[in-house]
Amino acid sequence: MVTKVAGTIGARNPAVVRARVLAALGAIIERDGLARLGVNALAREAGCDKVLIYRYFGDLDGVCREFAQSRDFWWTLDDLVQGLDPAGLSRTRALQVLMRRHAAAIRSRPTTLAILAHELTERSTLAIALEEVRETRTLELFAWIGERFDLPAAVDLPAVSLLLGSAVNYLAARGRDVSVMGGVALRSDADWERILSAIDALIAGVVPPQ
Amino acid sequence: MVTKVAGTIGARNPAVVRARVLAALGAIIERDGLARLGVNALAREAGCDKVLIYRYFGDLDGVCREFAQSRDFWWTLDDLVQGLDPAGLSRTRALQVLMRRHAAAIRSRPTTLAILAHELTERSTLAIALEEVRETRTLELFAWIGERFDLPAAVDLPAVSLLLGSAVNYLAARGRDVSVMGGVALRSDADWERILSAIDALIAGVVPPQ
DNA sequence: AACCTTTGTCACCATACGGTGACATGTAGC
DNA sequence: GCTACATGTCACCGTATGGTGACAAAGGTT
């Protein structure tokens, strides 16, 4: 009897520990990046013994898999097209709005930005999860656009989207720790307005209002 | 006398060892990426004792500094504008050609691609070196363009360049280990022609021939 | 009460890392 | 010849990592 020495954090409740581990994973990714993620660091952050991680999740990859399922790394189609009336918008304006919403959605997800940054270096579990959701959502969006607007055959929509989307992803990830690039600031929303305006112009140039 | 046991690689020639270390650094970066770079790995790759690295370069960072000076991570202005006749080209075509040359120059430099990928994660010595040369060369190029073409005031050239350049950098880095993205292939030069054509169209849309 | 399972803790292993001190070896100057 | 120095080799330290086995406490079941 007696003792009850150690300050058990989970108080014999595995669900609490699991939740803490998952939360800690997010915290580490956002603060230090995926490169500094490890079982030891994760256990430290979660305030639990690393043995529990192995017991509950198998290994670090198991934690990542579960983490990926518990979060939405990407916008949904509804996020992007919500309240958007195809009849009241020119196709040009519609594409511009979609691109702006994409940028806003990405920039507001620090975890996603960290994964985007890391996937250029290593093909981790989280990178693969992000890749999958991104591909499916992108296809959904393309389908949605294709059903509502007809685009000039001359414009290669996938290629243009890939280009502008890549630029947004790259600059959003880069803007986390660099404030200015090529004479263009990346930090504040006001800075981003300049970039988004340029995107507007590029879209307007390549797909004129019908 | 006698013995001459160990297979001394540098044969008492520090210059040889130094050169081998620098070459090994490039090899590791291109093959494994900056994340897997370390003193031990570097010594292994160079086939020398790691003590020599500390003696000759101070530390790993010293090797990187010297490596950065010994290589050109970026195009020079001359690389890009060589043989380009401002009088014979529309401003549209000129910008398109410059962008294509930029892409070709980046894609042909595996070390640069590895650093570009890594700088999203960590601000390493090599990333800083790359950043500096990139900024200065970009300014040079902007000046060159400004002296020879007049651009519509409506178009924000820095922002547009940043956007398209970022996309090219991102896709080039990404194309190293992923073959298709958003339905667009990234591997071969033929795949890239599709991307470059889209860039042509975007440029043509935003800055019409004078 | 006695038992069994779950939960949490601790000690330990092998490995790799960055970094340093001590020593053997060859070469140049005198 | 001898000394002095630059060069190369090896052994070692402290620390961190991923991973595992053994054990103490708490509950529930019978």
Are B62 and B91 in the same domain? no
Same domain (yes/no): B153, B109: yes
pLDDT digits (tens, 9 = 90+) for B9-23: 445 677 899 999 999
Shared-domain flag, residues A125 and A56: no
Are B40 and B144 found together in one domain? Answer: no
Q: Could you read off the pLDDT of B171-204 as tens digits, one per residue?
A: 999 999 888 998 899 999 999 999 999 999 999 9
Nearest residue to nucleotide C18 when comparing alpha carbons to its C1'?
B39
Best CA proximity match to B107, nearest among B192, B199, B22, B201 = B192
Scanning A170-199 for CB atoms below 8 A from B yields: 170-171, 173-174, 177-178, 181-184, 194-195, 197-199
B8 beta carbon < 7 A from strand D? yes
**Residue B172, domain CATH:** 1.10.357
Could you give the CA distance from residue A121 to residue B117 in angstroms, rounded to a whole number?
A: 6
Q: What's the pLDDT score for residue B11? A: 56
Domain identity same for A33 and A126: no
pLDDT over 80 (residue B38): yes
The CA distance from A76 to A172, in Å, is 19
Q: Quote the mean pLDDT of chain A.
A: 92
pLDDT tens string A82-138: 999 999 999 999 999 999 999 999 999 999 999 999 999 999 999 999 999 999 999
A184 vs B158: CB contact, 8 Å cut-off?
Answer: yes
Q: In this structure, is the CB of residue B39 within 7 Å of any atom belonging to strand C?
A: yes
Query: What residues of B are in contact with residue A131 (Cβ under 8 Å)?
Result: 178
Q: Determine whether the distance from the CB of A51 to the nearest atom of strand C is below 7 Å.
A: yes
CB pairs under 8 A between A and B: 141
A115 domain-assigned: yes
> Per the domain annotation, does A106 fall within a domain?
yes
Indicate whether A128 and A197 sit together in one domain.
yes
Q: Is A5 a domain residue?
A: no
Q: Is the pLDDT of residue A6 over 70?
A: no
Rounded CA separation A24/A47 (Å):
9
Q: For residue A58, is pLDDT > 50? A: yes
Minimum Cα–Cα distance from A165: chain B residue: B167
| A53 in the same domain as A25 | yes
Examine the domain organization and report whether A84 and A159 are in the same domain. Answer: yes
Q: Is residue A2 part of a domain?
A: no
Q: Tell me, yes or no, whether A83 and A157 share the same domain.
A: yes
| Domain limit, last residue, from A31, A49, A70 | A70
Instruction: Tell me: pLDDT of A4 over 60.
Output: no
Average pLDDT score, chain B? 92
Last residue of a domain, one of B70, B86, B115: B70
| Residue A163, in any domain of the structure | yes
Q: What is the CATH number of the domain that holds B52?
A: 1.10.10.60
A21-40 residues touching B, CB cutoff 8 A: 33-35
**Is A161's Cβ below 8 Å from some Cβ in B?**
yes
CB contacts, 8 Å: A123 with chain B: 177-178
- Token reading at A103: 């940028």
Nucleotides of D under 7 A from a protein CB: 6-11, 16-22, 24-27
- Residue B50 Cβ under 7 A from any strand C atom: yes
CA distances from A23 to A5, A27, A98 (A): 26, 6, 31
What's the pLDDT at A11?
Answer: 57
- Domain with B104, as residue range(s), is 77-206
Please indicate, yes or no, whether residues B94 and B146 belong to a single structural domain of this protein.
yes
In-domain check, residue B7: no
**Contact by Cβ (8 Å): B45, B109:** no
In-domain check, residue A181: yes
User: Are B65 and B86 members of one domain?
Assistant: no
Q: Which residue has the tokens 């050169």?
A: B19
Residue B29's H or E segment, with its range, is helix B14-32
Average pLDDT over residues B110-125: 97
B83 and B51 belong to one structural domain: no
Task: For residue range A167-200, list pLDDT tens digits in order.
Answer: 999 999 999 988 899 889 999 999 999 999 999 9
A46 touches strand D (CB under 7 A): no
A6 touches strand D (CB under 7 A): no
Number of structural domains chain A divides into: 2
Closest CA to A173 of B199, B107, B116: B116
pLDDT digits (tens, 9 = 90+) for B41-93: 999 999 999 999 999 999 999 999 999 999 999 999 999 999 999 999 999 99
Last residue of a domain, one of B70, B104, B134: B70
The answer to whether position A7 is within a domain reads no
CB atoms within 10 A of CB B67: 21
Query: How far apart, in whole angstroms, are the C-alpha atoms of residue A106 and residue A84?
Result: 19
